[in-house]
Structure 1
Amino acid sequence: MSSIILPRRRFVHAAAVLACGTLAAPARAADGWQPAVLSQARQRDITSAITGQQYRIFVSVPEAPAPAGGYPVVFALDGNASFPTLALLGRMSAWRGAGGKTAPVIVGIGYQGERDYGMPRGRDYTPPSGIPGDKTGASGGVDLFLDFIERELRPLIATLAPLDPSRQALYGHSYGGLCTLYALFNRPAMFQTYLAASPSIWYGERAVLSGLQGFEQRLARLPARPALMLSVGELEQPAPSDKPYQGRDAVAAGRRMVDEARELAGKLSAAGTLSRVQFHLLAHENHGSASFPAMARGLEFFLD
């Protein structure tokens, strides 16, 4: 499969890539250095008619032929940051070949530019907060974003490779984890596995948890119930203290990242409404570093 240059070079339409089969190697600079490439991957910029936003889509398709039912697929939010790691992990699952696992298609949903985390994520990944006066348009766009994935992006990816409709996952970290939980609670039929890493449950006075109202009824209409993995770094919430928290510790203490994730996992596990619920407290990890073990654990959870 062809390689791509990340993140600067934009490649041609996916159909042209498939037709050509190979792409020319990047030009070598005068001093001998050239842009790095990511094996077995491609990218394309698209504009959504639903959100009006431009997205940079990254795709990795396994080299092995698709199973009879199609490839499993992971849609990963914050694709500029998450895709390189998940694409490598996906390839490693094929190299190991343990337990008859099928390597998945990895789809990273990112944004144009050089930033690892695009600014439009604050709108795309957040639910309506319910806070009076919060109508700036800079947040609360999660429903349109999920419409984009379901109605525009998923059909586009299906033109690149056959996808198994019964083995699809959504991964997100931080605001992306918030979006993942929102999708689970409000659109549980969209995916079979939801991987929520360090979810910002605190956002908008915990607005995402309003989706638990009617959640069991929405699940009851499904032929099979989805699975959820929740993870959070142990350093994302300060240790209990007899003294008042200051600065960032005060903010982190108020957000209760660890407690909120653990309590939600316990509540959903006790309810027995999902096929599987798994919670990981990631030792020695903070909010940023927790994303890496969360991706590894999440992919293993999904493929198992």
Structure 2
Amino acid sequence: MEKKRRLSPGVKQFEIESSKNEHYQLMLSVPDKEVPIEGFPVFYVLDGNAFFHTIREMVRVQSHKPDKTGVVPMVIVGLGHPTEKDFDPAYRIRDYTFPIKNGKVPPQFSDYENGQAEAFANFIESEVKPLISEYVSINTQKQALFGHSLGGLFVLYSLFNYPGSFQRYVACSPSLWWDDRGIYRFFERWQNRIKRTTTDTRIFMAAGSLERDFMREDVRRLADRFAEWSPSLFSVYHEAEGENHISAVHSVISKILRFVSS
């Protein structure tokens, strides 16, 4: 018998096939509020299998009194994969990474397809966003993207290669080690563009203090580079004291929600 996830009230779940015949699970939560004239802000959550319900519940509870919590009602979209696993490495390596150019694929990932970040970004922009807009009015000037680990790497890839697709970017413990820190080749090209723009782009980065030294240092180093671009770019870095690679996410969610609400 096929297992089906139990959904919370007010949550819709879709199975969607992309134009490239890849399958995904989308989870959608719409605030039980009157739709603003300009539409609702929207928060896209990568690794939706793992993080959608937690983030959705925290938004639901805190957005009842936004004047006190700083969290506004928003649409939550979980971008998940067709699996019962919270994290499936085969899907994550395929969708969240860019092609290897400088380094090598780590042995534990060598059996998986990789480097399809461009296709996944196009899928979000040309297929997912229009689908969500069929269900609810969206404020296209208040769109945020969240990712953790490899998902955080994809958030940065999206920022550097598709500027304007989102206005708020959240990268928790991003896997900057991929392709021997190959994300910097996109950063260098992007930073020349950001000098010439006044777009309201904001970036939140976080890591746990108990993560491996090189991971914390990588994130802090990139956060420092972002900080050099203020005020044309607003960035925040937070190191979660006493938290590890996974627990860091849950410890900073309230901060993230206030950030994307701003």
Please, which runs of 5 or more residues in structure 1 have no aligned partner? Answer: 1-6, 10-35, 238-252
Q: Does 1:53 align with 2:22?
A: yes
Farther-moved stretch of structure 1 (176-185 vs 137-146): 137-146
TM-fit CA distance, 1:37: 3.8
1:108 match? 78
1:297 match? 255
1:3 match? none
Within 5 A, what are the aligned runs for 1:225-304? 225-237=200-212, 253=213, 256-272=214-230, 274-304=232-262
TM-fit CA distance, 1:112: 1.0
Whether the aligned pair in 1 keeps the contact of 2:95 and 2:115 (CA below 8 Å) is yes
Under a length normalisation based on structure 2, what TM-score does the superposition of the two structures give? 0.90
TM-fit CA distance, 1:94: 2.0
Q: Does 1:8 align with 2:4?
A: yes
Amino acid at match of 1:110: G
Whether the aligned pair in 2 keeps the contact of 1:80 and 1:110 (CA below 8 Å) is yes
Whether the aligned pair in 1 keeps the contact of 2:59 and 2:71 (CA below 8 Å) is no
TM-fit CA distance, 1:221: 5.8
1:248 match? none
Counterparts of 1:87 and 1:133, CA distance in 2:
37
Counterparts of 1:260 and 1:185, CA distance in 2:
17
Within 5 A, what are the aligned runs for 1:25-174? 36-50=6-20, 52-98=21-67, 102-118=72-88, 119-131=90-102, 138-174=113-149
Percent identity between the aligned chains? 33
SS in 2 for 1:235: coil
Counterparts of 1:203 and 1:157, CA distance in 2:
31
2:185 match? 210
Q: Give aligned pairs, total.
A: 254
After superposition, the C-alpha distances for 1:94-126 in whole angstroms (9 at most, x for unaligned) are 212326753110000001121011331111000
SS in 2 for 1:285: coil
1:22 match? none
Counterparts of 2:45 and 2:57, CA distance in 1:
13
1:224 match? 199
Farther-moved stretch of structure 1 (214-223 vs 162-171): 214-223
SS in 2 for 1:216: helix
Please, which runs of 5 or more residues in structure 2 have no aligned partner? Answer: none
TM-fit CA distance, 1:83: 0.3
Structure 1 pair 132–263 and aligned structure 2 pair: CA distance change class (3 A): closer
Structure 1 pair 133–199 and aligned structure 2 pair: CA distance change class (3 A): closer
Structure 1 pair 303–132 and aligned structure 2 pair: CA distance change class (3 A): closer
Whether the aligned pair in 2 keeps the contact of 1:216 and 1:273 (CA below 8 Å) is no
Counterparts of 2:103 and 2:251, CA distance in 1:
37
Amino acid at match of 1:39: P
